[in-house]
Amino acid sequence: MTPPFEYRTVDMTDEEFAEEQAVYGGLTEALRRLNEVSLRTTMPHDVILEATRKVEELSELLSAEMIPGNFGVVVTTSGHVRGYGNTVVGMRNAIAPPLKIVQDHVKGGASSEFFLNALYEGPPGKVHGGVLALVLDQIFGEAAAAGGTPGMTGTLTLRYRQPTPLGACSAEAWVDSTAGIKTIVKGALKDAEGNVTVEAEGLFILPRWAREQLAASGETPPQYE
Ligand SMILES: CC(C)(COP(=O)(O)OP(=O)(O)OC[C@H]1O[C@@H](n2cnc3c(N)ncnc32)[C@H](O)[C@@H]1OP(=O)(O)O)[C@@H](O)C(=O)NCCC(=O)NCCSC(=O)Cc1ccccc1
């Protein structure tokens, strides 16, 4: 079975990697700020029109050279994983909050403390339910991988116990059980006060194509990050 995606490898020194992080990371941080500011600004229309022209100019400047489509996941020869396009954690993705996720390879889990600002609003003042599913899917996937049983999300069930206020949040996920290629991950998301606002359970499955690759190569399971 042909894999639906593959990881590219690039030759890059640690110094080049660090410079890339600083330069593109700086651009993305500036864009995240711009994104929030553009939602909240109350400046007069003539200022907004001038700002719009400047933003268009920047898009012209940056689009002179681009990769053809999505970023994908690119691994450097020195072992760094460049999942820059990831919508939750991507270093070059201004849509990503972004989350810094800590994996626990001993217990098989993952956790994160993060901030969801006004850009992630659903009900007034509260986080959109789809955004909560989005961040939990990523944390759960990383928990399964940290437990040594990576997989793709087969199912993800959420129980929204109470609305999640915009602002500081935290989430934790752990491998509850494994059965062959299937891993059950459980976890919860909390608001700034420590109240559990979402409980979730996910089933992560090592895909058939990955099983076939593993059987052929004898390697350890890949990380879908
Ligand atoms: C991989 C799979 C889910 C299963 O394919 P295959 O392996 O070819 O399936 P196969 O037919 O060989 O069945 C094997 C066993 O599994 C069972 N079973 C099968 N499906 C389901 C099910 N849905 N639910 C429940 N069970 C299911 C089936 O009955 C059988 O059980 P049995 O042995 O009889 O007891 C495939 O449908 C797929 O790719 N879906 C899209 C996934 C996707 O796009 N997810 C979102 C992107 S990931 C992401 O964003 C998160 C992330 C972030 C960071 C890091 C990591 C993750």
Percent of the chain with pLDDT over 70: 97
Average pLDDT rounded to a whole number, residues 41-53: 98
Which atom, in ligand 1's list, is nearest to the CA of 137?
51
Q: What mean pLDDT, rounded, does the chain reach? A: 95
Assess whether the C-beta atom of 135 lies below 6 angstroms from ligand 1. Answer: no
**Which residue segments constitute the domains of the chain, with CATH numbers given?**
1-96 (no CATH), 99-216 (3.10.129.10)
Q: How far is the CA of 131 from the centre of ligand 1 (A)?
A: 22
Which atom, in ligand 1's list, is nearest to the CA of 155?
24
Average pLDDT rounded to a whole number, residues 2-17: 86
β partners of residue 188: 172, 199
Task: List C-alpha distances in Å: 209 to 2, 46, 151, 185, 198.
Answer: 6, 55, 11, 22, 33
What is the biggest distance separating any 2 CA atoms in the chain, rounded to whole angstroms?
Answer: 63
Which atom, in ligand 1's list, is nearest to the CA of 210?
7
Nearest-CA residue for ligand 1 atom 56 is 141
How would you classify residue 180: left for phi > 0, otherwise alpha for psi between -120 and 50, otherwise beta? left
ipTM: 0.96
pLDDT, position 217: 84
Q: How far is the CA of 203 from the centre of ligand 1 (A)?
A: 8
Which atom, in ligand 1's list, is nearest to the CA of 152?
48
Q: 120-145 pLDDT, tens per residue?
A: 999 999 999 999 999 999 999 999 99
Average pLDDT rounded to a whole number, residues 199-216: 93
Q: 171-190 pLDDT, tens per residue?
A: 999 999 999 999 999 999 99
β partners of residue 55: none
* Ligand 1 pocket: which of 149, 152, 181, 209 to mutate (most atoms within 8 A of CB): 152
Using CA atoms, how far apart are residues 77 and 2, in angstroms rounded to an integer?
Answer: 24
| ∠ CA 15-89-86, rounded to 5° | 95
Assess whether the C-beta atom of 207 lies below 6 angstroms from ligand 1. Answer: yes
